[in-house]
Amino acid sequence: MLGLGAALLVIVSTFLPMISLNAPMAGMEDLGSLWKSPDEDSQTVAKMIIVLAGLMGLCSFLANKKHLFSIGTLLMSALLMLISMKWFRDINESAGIFKLGMGLILFLVGSGLGLVSSILGFMKK
């Protein structure tokens, strides 16, 4: 169940703002989610993240029946965690122009929970 919840968090995160613009005079301004971006590459990335999160949730659900699916959960969640950590690092290196949005925070938490879920799946067997 933890893996399914993690997949749901990652999917929801694609609909929330990933970053906020730190404008000195206006305060914080959300830049929108991956879906609201006019860039087609962002929408493609959002679709890829949803597919990976769906596969992570499916593998986590099926890991109760077969041990092999715990490996699938581990691979999908590790890939999602690498993506989220790269975005996190890129935002921190932006010299204060951008701040973390709620979408990226949920993305980090969801991919981390996916890793925990896969490790618990290995320990259970």
125 residues of the chain, pLDDT tens digit each: 778 888 888 888 888 887 777 665 555 555 667 767 666 677 788 888 888 888 888 888 887 777 778 888 888 889 989 988 888 888 777 767 777 788 888 989 999 998 888 888 777 65
Token pair listed for 7: 């997949």
- Burial of residue 6 (number of CB atoms within 10 Å: 0-12, 13-18, 19+): buried
Establish how many alpha carbons lie within 13 A of residue 58's alpha carbon, considering only the half-sphere containing its beta carbon.
Answer: 6
SS3 67: coil
Contact of 121 with 4, CB cutoff 8 Å: no
* All residues at 6 or more sequence positions from 23 whose CB lies less than 8 Å from its CB, including other chains: 29
Backbone φ/ψ region at 45: left (φ over 0), alpha (ψ -120 to 50), beta:
alpha
